[in-house]
Amino acid sequence: MESALVLGIRRALSCALAASLWAMPLFHSARKIGGVENAGFSLAMAPHPRAAPAPLPMLRYEWAGDFAEGLAPVRLKGKYGYVDTAGSMRIPPAYDMAAGFSGHRAAVLKGGVWGYLDVTGWEIIPPAYSAAGAFAEGLASVAGENGYGFIDSNGIPQGEALYSDARPYSQGLAAVRLGDDENAAWAFIDKRGAQVIPPLFPDVQGGFSEGLALVRVESEMPYRSGFIDSSGGFAIDTLYDAAGDFHEGLAPVGRGQWRGNRFLGTWGYIDRSGRSVVASGFAEAGPFRNGKALVRMIGGGNALIDRSGRLTCAYREDAGIILPDQGDLVTYQLRETAGFLDTRGKTLTATPFAEAGPFREERARVRVITAGPPVWAYIDRHGKYVGGTGRDAPR
């Protein structure tokens, strides 16, 4: 019986041979960051771009959205409807635009105005709004003649519609903007519409996350950002030129300069006390999901880091990477092809796609490589098309 060492050598040689014959590596070689060497990388193999095309899926669409609450918006013959995870058309295409479900409601556009469907397709809130947001904590922001306000899941207004903009509720509070000129400022209201935190901030990131909300205290460059608690007091002072929300106890923070809407600086991570946990040294930094965060290296290329800042995977400079909200499967875009691989470098799909979205509810949307108009479909976590395949399926 071969030893583990011999088996490991055999596997490494096999991987290297496959790379030289059929594939392009997506991972960089190992390197040190902050004096700590990253994990041993395997090679993530992208299928050969000249591979024979797979049969077109039976269930295909002009456009496809991500799944949420068991349904996904799709477009057929210029109209939008919804399919379930088995590929069955649950809500026929009859709308001009359609958003994903949240809180058992989905915003749809019909006749130039927005309303909401329930999961059965019933127009539970008839189209009447110029803008309609997603439901969060039982409420959604909508825009009418007088401005933005909030409705409940039955369409009943909650408070007055008098804001120039509004963000979704999170942890019982929503950010709303008063005024629409350079003197506009953001406040926070509770679910009764009562102002809990006065309009003090030129901008807010979105809302509360893990008990803190990211706010900006200058309306013009140089911007300064910090974090407030639910009383409106600063829990973390405005020490940063850019920042992101807290996820899994950590938030990305940056120091540098702004050029227009582009931030040029370096990023690290802090905890909820404001203590630096991962030293600044990345060109970009995303939120933590399942113990990992996607960052962009100063020299180019994306990488995954753990909570200590240690690299676990590093990808070549020209590979676009999307880290999923859940699980270990990342989406990559490499030149004209896209696909899926796990963080150990194992490819999920045998054939590349023209474009791909992240996995949501065990399904991912993909754009099939074709010579004609865009063709979208869904695959499961084994890379199989939902609904099977067929070369002569009706379009």
Evaluate if residue 212 carries a pLDDT over 80.
yes
Looking at residue 54, its pLDDT comes to 61
Contact 172, 137 (CB under 8 A): yes
Q: Give residue-wise pLDDT tens across range 13-25.
A: 233 322 222 234 4
| pLDDT band (50, 70, 90) for residue 225 | very high
Evaluate if residue 352 carries a pLDDT over 80.
yes
Looking at residue 17, its pLDDT comes to 24
Evaluate if residue 168 carries a pLDDT over 90.
yes
Q: Give residue-wise pLDDT tens across range 112-136.
A: 999 999 999 999 999 999 999 999 9
Looking at residue 100, its pLDDT comes to 98
Domain 202-317 has CATH 2.40.128.630: yes
ω into residue 126 within 30 of 0, thus cis? no
Q: Where are the domains of the chain?
A: 202-317
Q: Record the pTM.
A: 0.82
